[in-house]
């Protein structure tokens, strides 16, 4: 990774070979062998409460079930139980990516694992892809993107707030186990506004992922760098953002009809005859929108279906689609 400065080099096109002491599989973020100092571990108690911390020789972990020494964990193969000083018992593993991102230090709100999984699948992130994302926030989605593109792909992350870029850099380095002064070979982190930086750099992209307050401001810049057939995927928290970004993509004319959806995930309690949905559920995280870039000068087919009554009536003040069936006049009408 380059530094979080606007003048960094283009992302690496091939895996770095000069990162000392880091085996190639480390770039998956999966670490094998005995637990080492500097690695994160995840302890789960008998009530299912979880504690995540970084292993440091000579340190102690304290909880309401007493304490245990980090030295008693370091050097052991993960996947064991260990007693605490007050008779508690803890299960010890390295955190999975989905566990790491919800417990790591945060600057901005993170993309939750259920949504990262959807983004990777529905934005079709593949090994070798050139992915651009903004903003990097805390780096949660970045970890999933880096895993999906692998060592021959590239992820270029734009972030306009330096303090968030710093948090993201630390989190991504921690997850992938980057050596001191090194980074994931496929990652470039750039400080700046995507809408300004993308046109300035002129680098192409196969996929662009936007997780920010005003993604519609970036649609023109994204259209300029995205290759024909490429996918833009937008993650927004509110219905007003959802509407505006979908209408902006439609009005642009160089993208396919945007698809919008959300995912709801519910845990199940399965115990003997007591098999029922869990009581708690994360009701809403965000909406996702995907759309594909048309080839230069090409537009998607004119829609045959009329908009829903009132969709673009007098109360609607957002961007208006330009592909209405012939004879339908939208401005100021109450269709």
Annotated binding site for S-adenosyl-L-methionine: 138-141, 159, 193, 211
Out of 139, 185, 258, 321, the only residue in the binding site for ligand SAM (CB under 6 A) is: 139
Token pair for 307: 């908009």
End-to-end CA distance of the chain: 51
Binding-site residue positions = 138-141, 159, 193, 211
Among the residue ranges 54-62, 130-138, 238-246, 247-255, the one whose residues contact ligand SAM (CB under 6 A):
130-138
Q: Minimum Å distance from CB 29 to ligand SAM? A: 15
Q: What share of the chain is helix, strand, coil (3-state, %, to 5)?
A: 25, 25, 50
Under the binding rule (CB under 6 A), the answer on residue 265 touching ligand SAM is no
| Helix, strand, or coil (residue 177) | coil
Determine, following the binding rule CB under 6 A, whether residue 125 of this chain makes contact with ligand SAM.
no
**Exposure of 45 by Cβ count < 10 A (0-12 exposed, 13-18 middle, 19+ buried)?**
middle
Task: In whole angstroms, give the CA distance from residue 331 to residue 236.
Answer: 27
Residue 299: half-sphere exposure toward Cβ, Cα within 13 Å? 11
Residue closer to ligand SAM by CB (options 73, 111) is 111
141 binds ligand SAM (CB under 6 A): yes
| 145-174 residues near ligand SAM, rule: CB under 6 A | 158-161, 164
| Shorter beta-carbon distance to ligand SAM: residue 19 or 141 | 141
Query: What's the token pair of residue 327?
Result: 């004879």
Please give the Cα distance from 67 to 50 (Å, whole number): 15
Is residue 115 within the footprint of ligand SAM (CB under 6 A)? no
Query: Coil, strand or helix: which one is 41?
Result: strand
Shortest Å, Cβ 160 to ligand SAM: 4
For residue 176, what are the contacts with CB-CB under 8 A and spacing of at least 6?
26, 27, 28, 29, 143, 146, 184
Q: How near is the Cβ of 308 to ligand SAM at its closest, in Å?
A: 31
Site string for ligand SAM, 210-239 (x = CB under 6 A): -xxx----x---------------------
Q: Closest by alpha carbon to 193, among 161, 227, 216? A: 161
Task: Extract the tokens encoding 182.
Answer: 């090194």
- For 59, other C-beta atoms within 10 Å of its C-beta total 13
Please report where in the chains the tokens 């098999």 appear, as a residue: 275
Nearer to ligand SAM, 35 or 140 (CB): 140
What is the size of the binding site for ligand SAM (CB under 6 A)?
A: 23
**Dist CA 320 CA 304 (whole Å):** 16
Per CB under 6 A, the list member of 138, 156, 183, 248 interacting with ligand SAM is: 138
Q: Which stretch binds ligand SAM (CB under 6 A): 103-111, 124-132, 315-323, 327-335?
A: 103-111
User: Closer to ligand SAM at the Cβ: 78 or 159?
Assistant: 159
Q: Among 4, 104, 111, 233, indicate the residue that binds ligand SAM (CB under 6 A).
A: 111
Among 68, 131, 132, 134, binds ligand SAM (CB under 6 A): 134
Contact 2, 188 (CB under 8 A): yes
Nearer to ligand SAM, 54 or 109 (CB): 109
Q: Which is nearer to ligand SAM, 68 or 143 (CB)?
A: 143
Tell me the C-alpha distance between 156 and 184, whole Å. Answer: 11
Q: Between 183 and 202, how does the x/- string for binding to ligand SAM read (CB under 6 A)?
A: ----------xxx-------
Asked if 90 touches ligand SAM (CB under 6 A), the answer is no
Partnered with residue 292 across adjacent β-strands are 231
Angle made by CA atoms 177, 181, 183, in degrees to the nearest 5: 50
Interface residues with ligand SAM (CB under 6 A) are 108-111, 134-135, 137-141, 158-161, 164, 193-195, 211-213, 218
């Amino acid at each position: 990774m380059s530094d979080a400065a606007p003048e960094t080099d283009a992302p690496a096109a091939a895996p770095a070979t000069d990162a000392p002491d880091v085996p190639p599989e480390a770039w998956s973020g999966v670490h094998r062998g005995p637990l080492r100092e500097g690695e994160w571990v995840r302890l789960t108690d008998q009530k299912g409460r979880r504690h995540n911390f970084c292993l440091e020789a000579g340190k102690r972990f304290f909880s309401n079930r007493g304490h245990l020494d980090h030295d008693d964990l370091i050097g052991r193969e993960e996947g064991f139980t260990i007693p605490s000083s007050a008779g508690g018992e803890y299960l010890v593993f390295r955190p999975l990516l989905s566990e790491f991102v919800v417990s790591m230090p945060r600057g901005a709100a993170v993309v939750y694992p259920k949504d990262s999984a959807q983004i990777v699948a529905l934005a079709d992130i593949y090994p070798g892809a050139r992915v651009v994302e903004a903003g990097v926030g805390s780096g949660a989605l970045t970890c999933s993107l880096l895993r999906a593109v692998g060592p021959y792909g590239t992820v270029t992350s734009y972030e306009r707030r330096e303090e968030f870029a710093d948090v993201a850099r630390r989190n991504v380095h921690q997850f992938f186990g980057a050596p001191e002064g090194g980074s994931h070979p496929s990652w470039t982190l750039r400080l700046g506004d995507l809408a300004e930086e993308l046109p300035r750099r002129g680098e192409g992209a196969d996929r662009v992922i936007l997780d920010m307050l005003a993604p519609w401001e970036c649609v023109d810049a994204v259209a300029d760098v995205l290759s024909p057939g490429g996918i833009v995927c937008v993650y927004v928290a509110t219905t007003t953002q959802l509407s505006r970004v979908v209408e902006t993509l439609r009005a642009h004319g160089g993208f396919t009809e945007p698809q919008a959806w959300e995912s709801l995930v519910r845990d199940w309690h399965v115990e003997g005859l007591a098999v029922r949905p869990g009581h708690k559920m994360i009701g809403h995280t965000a909406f996702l929108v995907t759309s594909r870039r048309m080839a230069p000068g090409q537009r998607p087919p004119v829609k045959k279906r009329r908009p829903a009554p009132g969709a673009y009536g007098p109360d609607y003040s957002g961007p208006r689609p330009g592909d209405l069936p012939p004879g339908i006049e939208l401005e100021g009408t109450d269709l």
